[in-house]
Amino acid sequence: MYAIPTAADRLGVTPGALRKALDRGETIANLTRACGLDPDEMTLAVIDAEVADVEALALISGFDDTEIALFVSELRAFIITFVWDGEAAANARFDAGTIEWVGERELAAA
């Protein structure tokens, strides 16, 4: 996952330092605000870092456009939750099967 390195780079910290902050319960969105940056831009940067590789790997693996679009929408929802609510929340949403694209709320939060 590129979320940690991408966010750390934009925040000007090491991935290890960011991981420690996240382990303490911080969120990328809160840390982004604390650094005077825009959490929406951070979210989009993390999404962009992830999606291109996922799409390329899915194409190589033989998935069709519909399958790729569904997976990318779920990935976007996971990343948005990860950035705004934390890794535990994103993982819980994934594990519960509720990690689906729900539309504008997700985009507005990002």
> 27-62 burial by CB neighbour count: b if 16+ within 10 A, else e?
bbbebbeeeebebeebbbbbbebbbeeebeebeeee
- Which tens digits make up the pLDDT trace of 25-65? 999 999 999 999 999 999 999 999 999 888 999 999 999 99
- Which tens digits make up the pLDDT trace of 59-86? 999 999 998 988 898 899 999 999 999 9
pLDDT level of residue 96 (50, 70, 90 thresholds): confident
pLDDT level of residue 2 (50, 70, 90 thresholds): confident
Helices 3-11/39-60 angle, 10° precision: 150
